Amino acid sequence: MEINNFSQSSSLIYQELAQKRTELANLDKKDFEKSTQESYDKINLSNNKYDENDYQRVLDKFKDLDAKTKLHEQTHASGAVTTAPINYNYHVGPDGNLYTSGGSVRFETSIPEDRASANVKLEKLKDASSSVDELSSADAQIARTANLNKLLIQSKEESLGVNNEN
């Protein structure tokens, strides 16, 4: 029973650490946005050769990519246990604001000793990595690795079953 409580308390600690890292990342992002906006404000925009439609079209693309990227990474993170907050890559849009253009999620990938728990965890990892509409190569690799590990566990079970029958 103590081991289970220790495992649960360490999980809570990791969750709290991840939450604090997210808060710090958000503060860093706000500071970066503020400094970027200040430098953007210094630029003279009166000499641009672009019309408002071009500006809006580019801005809409940044906003669309930002929304898709956040949804993509949050979908991954909601499917399995993670070891860190979502890590986003940012680009400065034409309005001087930061927009996400990529990201990554770090899954907790240790494999439990108990075969049933290992199979459940590997299935969650596979589902979490392949739960999005557009799979990246990293997403596909995680799903393949989880599937291969499940197959290895099954083959061990089968070989142990054969050895136990003799």
- pTM (global) more than 0.95: no
Does pLDDT of 17 surpass 80?
A: no
Give how many domains the chain has, as a whole number: 2
Checking if the pLDDT of 62 tops 90, the result is: yes
Together in a domain, 92 and 152 = no
Instruction: Determine the pLDDT at residue 52.
Output: 80
pLDDT digits (tens, 9 = 90+) for 81-120: 889 999 999 999 999 999 999 999 998 888 888 888 888 9
- Expressed as residue numbers, the domain containing 154 is 109-166
**Which helix (H) or strand (E) is 91 found in, with range?**
strand 87-92
Closest CA to 110 of 135, 84, 81: 81
d(CA 65, CA 100): 7
Question: Do 160 and 116 have their domain in common?
Answer: yes
Task: Compute the residue count for the chain.
Answer: 166
Q: Are residues 70 and 123 in the same domain?
A: no
